[in-house]
A and B are shown apart, each in its own frame.
Chain A
Amino acid sequence: MYDLIVIGGGPAGLAAACKAYADGLRSILVIERDKELGGILNQCIHNGFGLHYFKEELTGPEYAQRFVTMLGETSAKVLLDTMVLDFTPDREVHILNKIDGYQILQAKSIVLSMGCRERTRGAVMIPGQRPSGVFTAGTAQRYVNMEGYMVGRRIVILGSGDIGLIMARRMSLEGARVLACIELMPYSTGLNRNIVQCLHDYNIPLYLSHTIVDIKGDARVEQVVVAKVDENRTPIQGAEFSLDCDTILLSVGLIAENELTRQAGIEIDSRTNGAIVFENMETSRSGVFACGNVVHVHDLVDFVTAEGERAGRAAARHAKGETAKDGTVFELQADNGVTYVVPQKLRVDTPGKYVDVAFRTNKVSENSNIRVWSGRKPIACYHREYLAPGEMQRIALPLKLLEKAEGSVIKVSIEEAEDQ
């Protein structure tokens, strides 16, 4: 019997395991399906990681290694190249690997940290022929950075998500020609710093409000047809141009990987596609916690780590029998201008003075206020100079404010601030 089994050894799972150890658990198992710990960080060989958490700039593998080293100094056990097939309500975890075969393990607490996967061509329904040379940006990144192979020479990138932007620079550095980055929305969904450092610095044009309307090529990609779109995201006829290329990289969004979560019957939020969680990252199943991109897709690993630590701390408490008390539970909801909120549930009787609330907005806005509502009564307000859907917003909500709350629903909304 393990105190804690962590499913997924990326940054979220590593942070959870380290924190649970720091909080006194000794019998911890981290299960990773890849050949090594670190998750997607291992293929993110660019820098920019750790500015918040370590106050210094690291590469992805360096960031991961700090936690791998930290974990190595604990008594936690690691199983690599191991797949979790299933886990049951009484926290039996069914695993499979080459060495132990099929095994069933038992845990007091479980942390889910399986990360996310990329949306594909089929998900965004790009018409045209189906030649080879269409990759999701992350798959291309794996080939280039981990396997040491090039995926093409003349590249068009669809979507301005962060991985796509990073790959624009990466492919340029490898001698490929990146012809364009095409974004359906009137704004980029990636971080501003990546637009500057990965596109502008390499003279790669960014076409906002454009999309790929046709892919040509019988065997390998030969050409894409790009069109401007109107405000309903419908391509405008007659406004097409074509680019001769051999490769298309897709950076069109990430989806939390919740097959196990769903299989276990845990409640899922249709907005995040991740588990509905309490302020301590506990899911609708007692003793099962979730953190990182499997809950909602993050921009920065530093915040994934913070969330992992929160889950690890709560999982440790649960394993030690200090289960959450049944007190008042508030529901957090996304309101005007907000697409989702995590956590979705909040117990008032929780340790600490603040609750971290993360959310995203649905459009770019300047000089705005984030308001927290209890019924019709605003209980908190946070000013922001700039908001964009590509950048996750976080507020630290003082628990004390909830004493004044009415009813059981708390809403978060965005409104333009009045000029001062």
Chain B
Amino acid sequence: MYDVAIVGCGIVGAAAAWELSQYRLAVAILERENDVAVGTTKANSAIIHAGYDPKPHTKMAVLNIEGVHLAKELCQRLDVPYRQCGSLVVAFSPDEIPILQELCERGKINGVQDLQLLDRQQLHQVEPNLSESAEGALYAPTAAIVSPWEYALALAETAVQNGVNLFLNSEVISIRKEEEGFCLTIPGGEIRARTILNAAGVCADIVHNLIASPAYRIQPSRGEYYLLDKAEGSRAQHVIFQCPVPEGKGVLVSPTVHGNLIVGPNSQNVNIAQGTATTRSGLEFVMKQAQKSLPSIEFGQSIRNFAGIRANTEIDDFIIEEAADTPGFFDLAGIKSPGLTAAPAIAKLVVRMLREKGLVMEEKEHIVNTRKRIRFKECGQSQKEALARSNPAYGRMICRCESITEGEILDTLHTPIPPVSLDGVKRRCGAGMGRCQGGFCGPRVLEIIARENKCSPCQVLQEKAGTYILTGSTKGSIN
């Protein structure tokens, strides 16, 4: 019997797991896919929002502000790429200046520090590639960029090291109430838990309705993006927003922690099945909107397009509460933007809620609360020499574009949550993330996974179940 079962291991589930793993509790995470952080967490703008956007006194506002501080500390402690580059909300006509003032006021009420209104001249000085029509901006120095999947991975890995049980490929099919809690059915088994945290992202309403009476409906909203080559990485110095529109924060342009430029998203209601497909019209819209901010972006440098889904609900706030008719079932639902920012604060809130409900929270004496991984390309010359000497695998470059060595790929295969796919390796060390998108290193990474996992190359996946790469041997030979 687990004390807590967390359904879903995106950033929200991972943060909850990490927070709970510090206490003497039996915790399980049930993740539908073959890896963590593969839903909305892997396909978003990758931004730690400063917090001027949410309406004051909402959960969103409070948890956003708290999340900014927590994220900074956590990313440092868990070795997650994070850069506090600041954000700009830009007014492209004098009419939009009042919107900036309003956002600034709201930000001050929310408790955002160091907000500053920039005039035309100041703005063009700090962001030289901005369109000539930019009239002014709200500058938020506390905004940051982060690697969202590595953030979630780091939290989940550390939680696992602290004793949390992660069940992958474990979609919750049904939930029934038992005398002492719940029984969750997953493929090939059952999990019993006193408490359930529903962190199922865009499927949260489905999970909710398995046991509780319907209380909200998720309306998935798709956002499409471009990822541009590192040659475009310095086109923007800050996260550049346009003034918000009713559909969301509009199309942004931002550097990424990996040195690329990210451009997007649009906003379109979709059903989950079509959710992560990109469309010609959507991408064209994003391109046109982004050129309003930075006309000089070279879209010819695009290396990947993708789409992510927001878990929107009819409620303009996060839904973080115990289900009215099902004590012990807690929703962490409708976590749209700024969910990535708020995640660690949501986790702390959950711990307070569980404690109030009588769950005994005793701190563990020893916990793992740091994480470190080798990033060969960021090492100095002498470190590189030492690494290659200590382990020859660091002397073999596998991914040319991102300079990732065989040693780093082997490291990922021996982490607490080892990857089973090329994309899983990519998220953990960056191999295949570059301009050739795995064209050169894909076959090598596949070979390494097959070798280390002692499986046939034909069993190695690109990403989720069913995404096989090879279909057999040539000429039916025995390979």
A interface list, Cβ under 8 A from B = 33, 81, 83, 85, 94, 96-102, 117-118, 120-123, 125, 127-133, 136, 138-139, 142-144, 147-153, 174, 213, 218-220, 235, 246, 255, 257, 259
Contact = CB atoms under 8 A, between A and B. Distances in A.
A213 to B, nearest CB: 7
Given A117-B440, A219-B467, A149 B280 contact: no
Of A213, A220, A235, A255, chain B has the most CB atoms within 10 Å of the CB of A220
A143 B475 CA distance: 13
Nearest to A227: B280
A98 B443 contact: no
B260 to A, nearest CB: 11
A102 B384 contact: yes
22 contacts: A85-B403, A96-B388, A97-B395, A102-B381, A102-B384, A102-B385, A120-B435, A127-B283, A130-B276, A130-B277, A130-B306, A132-B467, A138-B439, A139-B440, A147-B479, A148-B473, A149-B470, A149-B474, A150-B470, A218-B466, A220-B468, A255-B435
Given A98-B392, A99-B392, A122 B227 contact: yes
A213 B280 contact: yes
A219 B273 CA distance: 12
Given A96-B384, A131-B467, A33 B397 contact: yes
Interface stretch (B20-28, B72-80, B95-103, B454-462): B454-462
B306 A174 contact: no
Contacts of B305: 122, 125, 127
Contact of B388 (A101, A125, A246): A101
A266 to B, nearest CB: 15
Among all A-B residue pairs, the 6 with the closest Cβ atoms: A219-B466, A101-B388, A132-B462, A122-B304, A83-B397, A132-B467
Interface string B405-442: 10000000000000000000000000000011111101
Given A81-B396, A96-B397, A219-B466, A136 B439 contact: yes
B464 A219 contact: yes
Contacts of A100: 395
A130 B38 CA distance: 13
| Best-buried of A127, A218, A255 by chain B (most CB within 10 Å) | A127
Nearest to A146: B443
Contact of A151 (B438, B466, B467, B471): B471
B110 to A, nearest CB: 36
Contact of A144 (B278, B304, B474): B474
B433 to A, nearest CB: 11
B303 A129 contact: no
Nearest to A136: B439
A132 B469 contact: yes
Given A132-B463, A220-B467, A149 B472 contact: yes
Contacts of A120: 303-304, 435-437, 439
A354 to B, nearest CB: 35
Interface of B: 226-227, 273, 276-280, 282-283, 300, 302-306, 381, 384-385, 388-389, 392-393, 395-397, 400-401, 403, 405, 435-440, 442-443, 447, 457-458, 461-475, 477, 479
A97 B396 contact: yes
B439 A149 contact: no
A152 B465 CA distance: 17
Contacts of B463: 132
Contacts of A139: 438-440, 442-443
B396 A98 contact: yes
Contacts of B381: 94, 102
Contacts of A96: 384, 388, 395-397, 405
Nearest to B395: A98
B439 A118 contact: yes
Contacts of B443: 139, 142-143, 147
B469 A147 contact: no
Contacts of B393: 98
B471 A152 contact: yes
A133 B422 CA distance: 13
Given A102-B381, A102-B388, A149-B474, A220 B395 contact: no
Contacts of A94: 381
Given A97-B396, A102-B385, A118 B436 contact: yes
B474 A148 contact: yes
A123 B436 CA distance: 9
A126 to B, nearest CB: 8
A151 B400 contact: no
A96 B464 CA distance: 34
B283 A132 contact: no
Contact of B466 (A101, A136, A220): A220
Given A101-B388, A120-B303, A120-B439, A127 B467 contact: no
A81 B438 CA distance: 18
A122 B279 contact: no
Contacts of B396: 81, 83, 96-98
B421 to A, nearest CB: 9
A83 B440 CA distance: 14
Given A81-B396, A120-B436, A139-B443, A150 B466 contact: no
Nearest to B306: A130
B379 to A, nearest CB: 10
Given A83-B400, A127-B277, A136-B439, A148 B477 contact: yes
B437 A149 contact: no
A147 B473 CA distance: 9
A149 B479 contact: yes
Contacts of B472: 149-150
Given A83-B400, A120-B436, A152-B471, A129 B442 contact: no
A122 to B, nearest CB: 4
Contacts of A85: 403
A341 to B, nearest CB: 21
B302 A125 contact: yes
B425 to A, nearest CB: 14
Contact of B437 (A122, A132, A147, A174): A122
A123 B303 contact: yes
A208 B475 CA distance: 32
A157 to B, nearest CB: 16
A99 B304 contact: no
A83 to B, nearest CB: 4
B280 A102 contact: no
Interface centre among B282, B462, B474, B475 (most CB of A within 10 A): B474
Nearest to B300: A123
B388 A127 contact: no
